[in-house]
Amino acid sequence: MIVVCPACQARFQYDDSRFGELRIKRFKCPKCEEVFEVANPAFPGQVPGGTPAPMPADQPTPPAPGQTARTTAKRDRESMLVAAGLQVAGMPPGLKFSLAFLSGPQASTVQVLEQPLTVIGREEGDVITRDPETSRQHAQLEIRRDGTVWISDQQSTNGTLVNGERISGPVQLSSQQEFTCGNSTFMLLIRNTDEYSLN
């Protein structure tokens, strides 16, 4: 569905299946930051009984005269995205992180990273390599709030290699940078994404 901001008329796309069982969702326009509500097209109109849907209890208080409400815009936007199921708490907004398996038993597959901390391991963790040369819990990726990604070895037997060198502490990775755990080589992929804007 196409959602139109009532204040600035900005248009953005939203997958209406993400409404789930909710009759109304709150949006904040990414351009003018106007907060408005949109009814679930599967439940048009009002909630049973003809009463408007209740506002969330954690609604921020209006700013005092002379103050601006934009001071908490980022936090409010993140809360809205988390509540809408569009973002995981603690993950930086506007970015999507994935790991591409370049070699090893899982070669030619890609796994989306959905949590701030991701453990890579042979048979335990969030990314399973099924690689006998990889330790059970081999390495950990940390996605920080500023959008940077750091990798650290988890005292693995064969070590974690970045740029062909075994790392001993946390090392920052950039997009499309490769690293190796055992016989499995990965490429980190970071892309900007804005699920709202059509521009």
Query: How many helices and strands (H and E) does the chain possess?
Result: 1, 15
pLDDT of residue 64: 58
- What is the DSSP code (8-state) at residue 22? -
pLDDT of residue 172: 97
Closest CA to 97 of 117, 81, 82, 80: 117
Q: Which helix (H) or strand (E) holds 81?
A: helix 73-83
The pTM is what? 0.55
**CA–CA distances in Å: residue 188 to residues 129, 150, 172:** 15, 11, 11
pLDDT of residue 72: 47
Token readout for 15 is 């997958």
Give the pLDDT means over successive 10-residue stretches in the chain (199 positions). 82 78 82 83 53 46 55 54 57 89 94 94 93 96 94 96 95 96 96 59
Closest CA to 23 of 47, 55, 51, 50: 47
pLDDT of residue 170: 96
pLDDT of residue 199: 40
